[in-house]
Amino acid sequence: MNSIHGVKTLPRRVVNVLAARLRVVPAVVLTGARQIANSTLVEKLVQGERRYRTLDDFDVLDAARRDPEALLGG
């Protein structure tokens, strides 16, 4: 088991699959229950020139609703 801030956590099975997808596709959407470190996981895996966006940011959420292609492309 891993430990984050002293709390034992189970290994995440999605890590390898998500990391592989991030290497070859322009955009990845990760969804799941709130407060289980989805955002933290993606932030750690996004490297280099890749951009990280969270729909917890209301401006980003609004942009995604209005014009998702522009959000991803620009």
**Amino acid 71: pLDDT:** 84
Full domain range(s) for residue 60:
2-73
Which of 34, 35, 38 minimizes the C-alpha distance to 15? 38
Q: What does the alpha-carbon distance between residue 57 and residue 10 come to, in Å, rounded to a whole number?
A: 28
- What percent of the chain has a predicted confidence (pLDDT) above 90? 12
> How many domains does one find in the chain?
1
Mean pLDDT of the chain: 78
* DSSP-H helix ranges across the chain: 14-24, 38-45, 58-66, 68-73
Average pLDDT over residues 6-34: 76
User: What one-letter code names the amino acid at 49?
Assistant: E
pLDDT tens readout for residues 46-67: 877 777 888 889 999 999 999 9
Residue with tokens 């989805």: 38
